[in-house]
Structure 1
């Protein structure tokens, strides 16, 4: 599942039976002797499905004569993939919630080693190094991120004007603005984990970046320092303090998802939404030409809490991952689809009507923001800014992309600290124990050392 926080989990027993009975997509033949390749995707909106059909399915089918691509949309895609892969079945191209999601299947032998395809298509030369490396396990490539992502501040310009404040550039300004919003009867910010608890990873990752610093997290991932290091302890404590002050959705964090939060932001119920650039896709439902408010939405870096860290900096991540089913009879075709998606042309076309999800992690992000309209323009600019951060080393790491799988999952339980049901010490001791086990198994992806 993508980290949108909006999808409904679960599938009926009948749906499970269908999944288990399904063979890999490449086993069937389509019209004209072409082989059918299957990709299972989450339950995108009708407009997004239309874009996917036009740009990906039709575009890929026209680009070659051997395969037809078939995309199936379903809100329970993660569960369906889990059931199918456990039975050595499922789609040819495996869509997942990110590299940590894929790594868990890679070590089970459910995903194909894509290193030969990386060499054939030159993916390592084309993809940003941190993003390429995030999909490797024990030196072999098992997934590629579909998009480059950053965590920051979405803001409503009209609400800031109403409050008489500007876009915050320091943490003190940010908290002062939220306090002022609360006094005016607004949410200090809007966001929430309703329906998708891993949303929590966004906020602990953000605090690890802006309190502990990307270098400290890097050192923890390398085993140079413990996850119980004072810098990391402070990041956890500060995130809990932030939550307890109502700075994450007020009292409604557990009752809001990203879609509802963006609607509230557009309605002027809050000045801020903290989250991944992925959220541009939800914002477009409420900030658009029909509503006449497209220009009201802005995006800015989250300010550092600790002085002396690189500024501006971001928290690097991805929205999803793309892998090849180890039991697909058409691995070459699956690789061809992934290669098609790792291109300027694909990125250019997808972002015209679907901002937020397709910041293809190319080293040379040549898309011109001025050639786009609406929120696509703002999103394309955010990707360019994030690429610049990668090139200068001014970034931290999103847990779901760069942490080993069980460690990333363990960080999802940060809300125990926020709610006071677990101490920071106990929480980080569990993180350390989980991490030690995964590091011993070689599950920590290689990551480049950030600047600070």
Structure 2
């Protein structure tokens, strides 16, 4: 998945083993409780413990009808694909995001969650863009476990060494990166090693800060084309950025998020551009043991085009939660998702696992002062992202808001970055893909960003 495989290599589990070991869905124990299955990515041992303590333990204590079982595996995307194709698999389907879920919804593999949304009041509780991103044809098929914004992680000591401040304009950002290159550093660190959809982060970022969220929204509504000059300019700007070495230099294909955060902590670069979920990777290198938590900062990416709303963010999701259409106990799966959409769950899990659980609540009432370390910084960033969204000053992340094949098409933007294709030719192909998906009604309804 986008947010995990960029960090962790995935060895595929044999299809037969997946279906044999994990296809039973809900089972009944001797005590009469039913076991609900959730397959999750291969998180670190510490993260697995947090999830078992907070999610599994918390849910099990909240009611007496079900027991939740979470299975951790790096090949979860492939395992889900194999299982769902055979009408098997976990009760709660964890995926890479709404575009991931939409592809299965069209195949009839996911349950319509609209009745549960009405029962639990999810539409009133969840931020409108996040709720709507999981809908198709007026029905709800997924909810995001977390929202994320795209921005700039920076090392304060490195900026001080370079004699520059935190950039507030694009010119200041470029000047700082050039100083870093002159000093023998990376201009920034990031990369798509092991997970090419990382490209979506950076093309989405440039669509937001060059074309603007409104231009992308109009393209998704079909009122303008993806070949619009504003969007062409954004793709060309992203290519120029890449060619200048501002995305990991020559090592973009050889770095993942975890390695990039290590380099940032080691002072090899002033910046890491990425989603707020990367706080979970920063935690491995900016921590109490290293004594450098105060060195890490996070800020919004500056607009390239003057006059766009500022500050703005590129709004996305970390992952999606759905219900297996063939689960024998959809009610139980819905209870798990409802538990994960609660302030109580958000408060508890963010104490020990920053970055991954900005539960997309309209009222994200977590108090940063009650957290320590990177959890405090992450909660502050999540609240800032929600405030920005509530003002309408956001762009749309491809993997969250674009229909699935269109999102995949944008993953191939590196053809423009590497000079094998022009921006206009690339976007003409995107338009053809999008036209087919729009005709099938695969574009979710979206609240309109600010002009």
Greater Cα shift, 46-55 or 31-40 = 31-40
Asked whether the equivalents of residues 30 and 68 of structure 1 are also in contact (C-alpha less than 8 Å), the reply is: no
Corresponding position of 2:391: 392
SS at match of 1:32: coil
> Unpaired segments of 5 or more residues in structure 1?
none
* CA–CA separation in structure 1 for the residues paired with 2:198 and 2:150: 12
The TM-score with structure 1 as length reference comes to 0.99
Structure 1 match to 2:433: 434
2:68: which partner in 1?
69
Q: CA deviation at 1:30?
A: 2.3
2:323 aligned residue: 324
| SS class of match (1:3) | helix
Please give the root-mean-square deviation of Cα atoms over the aligned residues, in Å: 0.9
Shift of 1:424: 1.1
Aligned ranges 1:158-197 → 2 under 5 Å:
158-197=157-196
Question: Does the 8 Å contact 1:25/1:36 carry over to 2?
Answer: no
Residue equivalent to 1:3:
3
Q: Residue by residue, what CA displacement relative to the aligned partner does 1:349-406 show, whole Å, maximum 9, x if unpaired?
A: 0000100000000000100011100000000000100110111000000000000000
Query: In 2, distance between residues paired with 1:89 and 1:227?
Result: 38
1:53-100 Cα shifts (integer Å, max 9, x gaps): 000001101110100000000000000000000000000000000000
Distance (whole Å) between structure 1 residues aligned to residue 24 and residue 64 of structure 2: 17
User: Residues 172-251 of structure 1 correspond to what in structure 2 (within 5 A)?
Assistant: 172-251=171-250
Contact 1:25 1:92 in 2 (8 A): no
Point out the more displaced range, 332-341 or 418-427. Answer: 418-427
Q: Which residue of the partner structure matches residue 299 of structure 2?
A: 300
Deviation, structure 1 residue 423: 1.4
Query: Which residue number corresponds to residue 34 of structure 2?
Result: 35
Cα distance in 2 for partners of 1:25, 1:325 equals 12
**Contact 1:189/1:274 (8 A) holds in 2:** yes
Instruction: Assess if the C-alpha contact under 8 Å between 1:24 and 1:327 holds in 2.
Output: no
**Equivalent-residue separation in structure 1 for 2:187 and 2:228 (angstroms):** 30
Preserved CA contact (<8 Å) 1:7 1:196? no
Paired position in structure 1 for 2:419: 420
Alignment partners' CA distance in 1, 2:254 and 2:290: 25
Q: Does 1:95 align with 2:94?
A: yes
* Equivalent pair of 1:154/1:297 in contact (CA under 8 Å): yes
Is residue 39–residue 94 contact of structure 1 (8 Å, CA) maintained in 2? yes
Q: Distance in 2 between matches of 1:89 and 1:22?
A: 11
Greater mean deviation of Cα atoms: 336-345 or 421-430: 421-430
User: What is the CA distance between 1:16 and its match in structure 2?
Assistant: 1.5
Q: Is the 8 A contact 2:26 2:91 kept in 1?
A: no
Q: Which residue of 2 aligns with 1:271?
A: 270
What is the distance in 1 between the residues matched to 2:274 and 2:207? 14
Q: For residues 343 and 21 of structure 1, do their structure 2 counterparts lie closer, same or farther at Cα, with a shift above 3 Å needed? A: same
Distance in 2 between residues matched to 1:360 and 1:424, nearest whole Å: 36
Paired residues of 1:204 and 1:239 also in contact (CA < 8 A) = yes
Matches of 1:2 and 1:344, distance apart in 2:
25
Contact 2:2/2:198 (<8 A) preserved: no
8 A contact 2:207–2:395 mirrored in 1: yes
Query: What secondary structure does 2:157 align onto?
Result: helix
Cα distance between partner residues in 1 of 2:393 and 2:337: 29
- Which structure 2 segments of 5+ residues have no match? none
In 1, Cα distance between the equivalents of 2:185 and 2:334? 48
Structure 1 equivalent of residue 19 of structure 2: 20
1:149 match: secondary structure: strand
CA contact (8 A) 1:218 1:449 kept: yes
- In 2: Cα distance, 1:308 partner to 1:220 partner: 20
4+ residue segments displaced more than 6 Å: none
The CA deviation string for residues 215-235 of structure 1, in whole angstroms up to 9 with x for no partner, is 000000000100000000000
Query: SS of 1:89's equivalent?
Result: coil
Give, in angstroms, the shift of residue 3 of structure 1.
2.2
User: Aligned partners of 1:254, 1:248: CA distance in 2, in Å?
Assistant: 10
Change (3 A) 1:264 1:239: same
Aligned equivalents of 1:425, 1:235: Cα separation in 2: 11
Counterparts of 2:194 and 2:224 in 1: how far apart (Å)? 34
TM-score, normalising length: structure 2: 0.99
- Contact conserved, 1:147 with 1:357, CA < 8 A, in 2? yes
Cα distance in structure 2, aligned partners of 1:449 and 1:375: 32
Report how many aligned residue pairs link the two structures. Answer: 450
